[in-house]
Structure 1
Amino acid sequence: MTRCQVPAFLIHQIQEELDKEEEEMMVFLCRDLAPDLANADLKEILVALNEREKLTPVGLSELLYRVKRFDLLRRVLNTEKATVEAHLDRSLRLIPDYRVLMVEINENLEKEEVCSLGFLLRDYSPRMKMAKYKSFLALIIDLEKLNLVAPNQLDLIENCFRSIHRIDLIRKIQTYKHKASVSSVHCQPVYVNAHQASLPNFNLIGPPYHTGIQNESREKLQNGSSLTLAAAEPLHMSIEESGTVPYKMSDDSYRMQSQPLGVCLIIDCIGNDTDVLEETFRGLGYDVHCHRYLNMSSMNQTLLEVARWQKHRNCDSFVCILVSRGNSQSIFCTDHTFSGFPLEQIKKYFTADSCPGLLGKPKLFFIQSYVVPENEQECTSLLEVDGNADNTRGKVTIPHAADIFWSHCKVDVSTLEQSPTSPSFYLRCLAELLRNPYKRKLCILDIHMELNKKVYDGNKTTDPSQQYSLLLQHTLRKKLFFPLECC
């Protein structure tokens, strides 16, 4: 059992204690954590999260807290409501605020009000006319599938609440929007205030489907002859409908909202940096996979396997970190007889033609090479890789494929030999910057500038033979911001 897993008997006991409504709420809360299990039941989801090391006792206690089963907190998990609240106050949250908001709204709606919401949304899809929703959460799931509701797209249901005179629920949404925008000043926000527009005597966003019947329905609504809606405030149009996008949600920034943010692959052939890197990138929301002390054949197999994973399609980015002895063009892994594994080949495994799931998504590489002098290198190759490795000799170039960020740090291997258990100063500084919430307000290029400063300031007090040198090359097309709040 890994340190992140929850005993299976606890999952079973909790699932047995929950009623159908509580199970539905908990499944809804977990939808972003396991998007590939949208149709699974609660036990399947919890078991999958557990196997993927996404479920901890703290996370399980949060789920019980969100469905208000405080008795199970005490009886099964031996914890108190106040303890869970203290964790949540420190932003140690498993569940996104958007999911929590929807569950809170669900608990505050009567069955008749859910029916009214379903009626108001009939024009948005033929399936809406057929469905009889037993809960608000089931309605929201269908709206999410139609891309009508999302964490940054709540205007539609806000206007529906105005139509059924639930001002208290509108205030909940407005509070969520404000909190999200304030906490995301310098990164892609959870919620973007929508563009305002005004339509006379009509306060519900017009549906995106433009059949003649629907246009006629909208005309009746606007003329007040079909359905009376509150008509006081200007209409808040969603980004998709307005055609204007605020800066942080524009094409200038990569989307970084998926859960997980992406796969983070760490291959540490020295063994000094894995723990801090794993903690850092897991905290940022990545699905971290660590490998220590690989030879070149094992590394090649690992890279090929990870590049073929289908889970990249559901993620917004990819991170690869390599730590090894090597030279300027290759890394040696743990092999003692080597010509090296070409660094250029590593990038090629994850370009869009080799890994379609990462098309258009940022791919970040951080390489720490402990450079072995040429007179100590042997030239027998143990490994053949796809592609013409000879083309990379004597040069390090970024491939023409877009969205790659390549940070390569080199230091003489004598640094490692002098302090065999010391971590890389470059990677330690990187971890410190990424764990600093103030530095995470910067885009990745500005963070790397800070990293340059730290590394070169450190060189001032270091023997010239053991100074770090940094090379940054990238083909990013947009700005990249990490989430402000760590998981």
Structure 2
Amino acid sequence: MTRCQVPAFLIHQIQEELDKEEEEMMVFLCRDLAPDLANADLKEILLALNEREKLTPVGLSELLYRVKRFDLLRRILNTEKATVEAYLTRSFRLIPDYRVLMVEINENLEKDEVGSLGFLLRDYAPRMKMAKDKSFLALIIDLEKLNLVAPNQLDLIENCFRSIHRIDLIRKIQTYKHKASVSSVHCQPVYVNAHQASLPNFNLIEPPYHSGIQNESTEKLQNGSSLTLAAAEPLHMSIEESGSVPHKMSDDSYRMQSQPLGICLIIDCIGNDTDVLEETFRGLGYDVHCHRYLNMSSMNQTLLEVARWQKHKNCDSFVCILVSRGNSQSIFCTDHTFSGFPLEQIKKYFTADSCPGLLGKPKLFFIQSYVVPENEQECTCLLEVDGNADNIRAKVTIPHAADIFWSHCKVDVSTLEQSPTSPSKYLRCLAELLRNPYKRKLCILAIHMELNKKVYDGNMTADPSQQYSLLLQHTLRKKLFFPLDCC
């Protein structure tokens, strides 16, 4: 008798909790694991995989993670999302990255867009049956049967996405292709780890408290069996003293040697800080581009244009500095009606999907927001930006994007009203630290710690309404040092 690794009642309990769309996604994800069960339902597939010893508690947790049922992860498998994430970054994955990519694309398509794709595909597969409510995943399965789409054959759907103007999805596919080609050089399997293109969006800004991740963390299932996940290495961030030996290039540090170091984009809609910032980052070796007093439409066009520059591939980093009135989540630029341009959208323009030239390179953002009270804001429609997936929604979650350093400082707009020409204390302190050769011996995280200290020391003597608040979020994978022989 074959040993089953997952209790049948768990499979039944999970299947009962899923809706029709989630079941379809899971069946699609498992399609390569049980090709002889192509027409079976989810419960049959999971039971068969279990009997064949292809399904483990870890594999089941990955499936729930891929369909974003984090509540079932916690309630039924008694494990946390962060634990699964740690496992997926280090260990073998049950689901091929091609399948995960297709599921992510499916989640980013509107119903009318799927209908348009079905119509376009008639030119390539006239015999393909087109039900009125056919899903994108069902279309992909039909195309797979006709040998028109495969893990290494995605040109057809790229062309279709181009026809419906979904450039963002084309970028995801191109990122997947790039990673597949890189991995093939090292003799990896056909289904490779398409990091940015495949993983669903989730917050990697800071590990949750009580996440349960240890060197060997064991999650207990409700039936008493255990789910052992190999957790990520502890994050070691050694902070050098200001008088330490100059840093050397190593595997745990980003390369920062190109000339120029990268593009530094400064958008100053207030006008008090551009000169000192331009001088500072030009001294660090950046190609600095300054824009003053932009409205939201002009800023959007500027960001899009800069993100598309080919010169990023010859640079080792990217810096973006924004100074504007705004609120906690958006900036207003010079517009008088406060529709707001979401800050999260700015970040998306420079992720690996949107800007392949910055793949694997540090992207630094420094934001100074002069916060306008809510009762003074006029709510209007949000600005529409490039690509339907990038249309701004009221609530935006931080996407999974590596190598981003996000420093956001907020102060009440009354600070400007009292001193209209005064520079931002936050940006002034940042410039001072970066121009100090002793402070540049520190990594960027340690420099930011010094920045925190300066800003909060200044708050001690400031009126409560004029105090600065500072937030750091990052997904850096290595230490980042600026060159010492600059400024």
1:358-396 CA-to-partner distances (Å, cap 9, x unmatched) read: 000000000000000000001113621146799977767
2:114, 2:356 → 1: CA distance?
A: 41
Change in 2 beyond 3 A, CA 1:61/1:277: farther
1:342, 1:201 → 2: CA distance?
A: 17
Q: How far off its partner does 1:433 sit?
A: 0.1
1:107-158 CA-to-partner distances (Å, cap 9, x unmatched) read: 9999999999999999999999999999999999999999999999999999
**Cα pair 2:443 2:479 within 8 Å, conserved:** yes
1:456, 1:464 → 2: CA distance?
A: 12
Aligned to 1:113: 113
Q: How far off its partner does 1:313 sit?
A: 0.5
Change in 2 beyond 3 A, CA 1:239/1:161: farther
**Cα pair 1:5 1:56 within 8 Å, conserved:** yes
**Cα pair 1:155 1:237 within 8 Å, conserved:** no
* Alpha-carbon RMSD: 24.9
Q: How does 1:85-164 map to 2 (within 5 A)?
A: none
More displaced stretch, 371-380 vs 213-222: 213-222
Change in 2 beyond 3 A, CA 1:19/1:313: farther
**Cα pair 1:320 1:366 within 8 Å, conserved:** yes
2:200, 2:294 → 1: CA distance?
A: 67
Q: How far off its partner does 1:441 sit?
A: 0.1
More displaced stretch, 297-306 vs 2-11: 2-11
2:219, 2:38 → 1: CA distance?
A: 37
Q: How far off its partner does 1:447 sit?
A: 0.1
Change in 2 beyond 3 A, CA 1:215/1:27: closer
1:81-132 CA-to-partner distances (Å, cap 9, x unmatched) read: 9999999999999999999999999999999999999999999999999999
Q: How far off its partner does 1:251 sit?
A: 1.7
1:262-320 CA-to-partner distances (Å, cap 9, x unmatched) read: 00000000000000000000000000000000000000000000000000000000000
**Cα pair 1:364 1:406 within 8 Å, conserved:** yes
**Cα pair 1:189 1:249 within 8 Å, conserved:** no
Change in 2 beyond 3 A, CA 1:211/1:22: closer
Q: How does 1:58-97 map to 2 (within 5 A)?
A: none
**Cα pair 2:97 2:191 within 8 Å, conserved:** no
Change in 2 beyond 3 A, CA 1:245/1:101: farther
Return the TM-score normalized by structure 1: 0.49
1:14-43 CA-to-partner distances (Å, cap 9, x unmatched) read: 999999999999999999999999999999
1:113, 1:98 → 2: CA distance?
A: 21
1:210-255 CA-to-partner distances (Å, cap 9, x unmatched) read: 9999999999999999999999999999999999999833220000
Return the TM-score normalized by structure 2: 0.49
Change in 2 beyond 3 A, CA 1:371/1:86: closer
Unaligned regions of 5+ residues in structure 1, if any?
none
Other structure's SS at 1:222 match: coil
More displaced stretch, 58-67 vs 191-200: 58-67
Change in 2 beyond 3 A, CA 1:172/1:333: closer
**Cα pair 1:262 1:318 within 8 Å, conserved:** yes
Aligned to 2:177: 177
Aligned to 1:370: 370
Larger Rg: 1
Aligned to 1:408: 408
Task: Pick 1 or 2: higher relative contact order, CA cutoff 8 A, min separation 6.
Answer: 2
More displaced stretch, 4-13 vs 82-91: 4-13
Change in 2 beyond 3 A, CA 1:236/1:134: farther
**Cα pair 2:313 2:358 within 8 Å, conserved:** yes
More displaced stretch, 46-55 vs 169-178: 46-55
Other structure's SS at 2:378 match: coil
Unaligned regions of 5+ residues in structure 2, if any?
none
2:213, 2:88 → 1: CA distance?
A: 48
Q: Report the identity percentage.
A: 95
**Cα pair 2:165 2:387 within 8 Å, conserved:** no
**Cα pair 1:323 1:368 within 8 Å, conserved:** yes
